[in-house]
Structure 1
Amino acid sequence: MARIAASVASAFENDTEMKAMDANRYATKKTIAQGMLDIALLTANASQLKYVLQVGEQHQFYKLMLVMISLSIILQLLVGILFVIIGSLNINHQNDQKAAIIINDIILVVIFVISVINVIISGFGIEYSSQPLILLENVGKKQP
């Protein structure tokens, strides 16, 4: 009987420890991790933008790619700003909880849109090469 009482008491102590977990700290770490992933995608988009700008009008879908990559970068910057805002909220306060939920939902939708845009960008074939670009006007000419 004493063992059962000790087990029940231990269970209540563990429950108290679980409730003591700081949700604010968890949310902050989650936001930082999401921000890191956003930085990686932003870097990839910047590289794609550089490639498209180097190729220029020769790229079959130049204007479409330019618009899609630029839109993706702008939306990523918006998400970054929203991450900073949501990271500064204290979810232990009732008003901040409501704001955090709304901002989190907005971030979710914008990230979904960014993902769709980047799938479309990938579908239009950004090809990377370590070789220098060969302009069509230089094809057939002797190199010095």
Structure 2
Amino acid sequence: MGSEREMINLNPLSPGSRRENTININHYATKKSVAESMLDVALFMANATQLKAVLEQGPSFQYYATLIALISVSLFFQTAIGILLIVVARMNLNDVTKQQRLDMLNNVATALIFITVIVNIFITAFGVQKTGILYGRRLY
């Protein structure tokens, strides 16, 4: 369990129930980073699947080069975000000397996430056409 300095009492008016009303800020930040990393992995897998579909379409696909570039940029940013989140999760938020750096890294990660979302909106807009035996067939 963390030291007294790492704990924050959420209800200072009831000192007798300190154990129930305290949180470890460092653990909270680590859990938040892990959750963000899981979402990053899910998006990474979706982009990898989209990249596979575009490569299967081949260069004859109208937006082939555009989608390859956008998906590659998205995968690059997601890798950078993942590394940043690992660095942030491993640093002690309660160490005052590291707080400014952590804040800067968190802001960079947030900006990269925003850019990645915008890039993925364009990936979705250009889309990947369906392939396979049922493509082009009408089902009644």
User: What TM-score comes out, normalization by structure 1 length?
Assistant: 0.78
Aligned to 1:127: 129
Stretches (4+) displaced over 4 A = 14-19
Matched, 1:79 2:81: yes
Structure 1 residue corresponding to 2:61, chosen from 59, 62, 74:
59
Instruction: Give 1:12 deviation, angstroms.
Output: 3.2
Aligned to 1:113: 115
Counting strand residues as a fraction of each chain, which structure ranks higher?
2
* Structure 1 letter corresponding to 2:118: V
Matched, 1:102 2:124: no
Aligned to 1:91: 93
**SS of structure 2 residue aligned to 1:81:** helix
**SS of structure 2 residue aligned to 1:21:** strand
Instruction: Give 1:20 deviation, angstroms.
Output: 3.8
* Structure 1 letter corresponding to 2:25: A
* Structure 1 segment 15-26 matched on structure 2, within 5 A: 16-17=18-19, 20-26=22-28
**SS of structure 2 residue aligned to 1:57:** coil
* Structure 1 letter corresponding to 2:63: F
* Structure 2 letter corresponding to 1:83: L
Contact 1:68/1:117 (<8 A) preserved: yes
Q: 2:111, 2:117 → 1: CA distance?
A: 10
Distance 1:132 1:81, change over 3 A: farther
Q: 2:51, 2:134 → 1: CA distance?
A: 15
Instruction: Give 1:18 deviation, angstroms.
Output: 7.5
Cα deviation, 1:55-91, whole Å, max 9, x if unaligned, reads 1112111111000000000100000000111011101
Select the structure of larger CA radius of gyration: 1
**SS of structure 1 residue aligned to 2:30:** helix
Q: 2:64, 2:119 → 1: CA distance?
A: 15
| Corresponding residue pairs, total | 124
Distance 1:68 1:14, change over 3 A: farther
5+ residue gaps, structure 1, are: 1-9, 135-144
User: What TM-score comes out, normalization by structure 2 length?
Assistant: 0.80
Instruction: Give 1:40 deviation, angstroms.
Output: 0.3
Instruction: Give 1:17 deviation, angstroms.
Output: 5.0
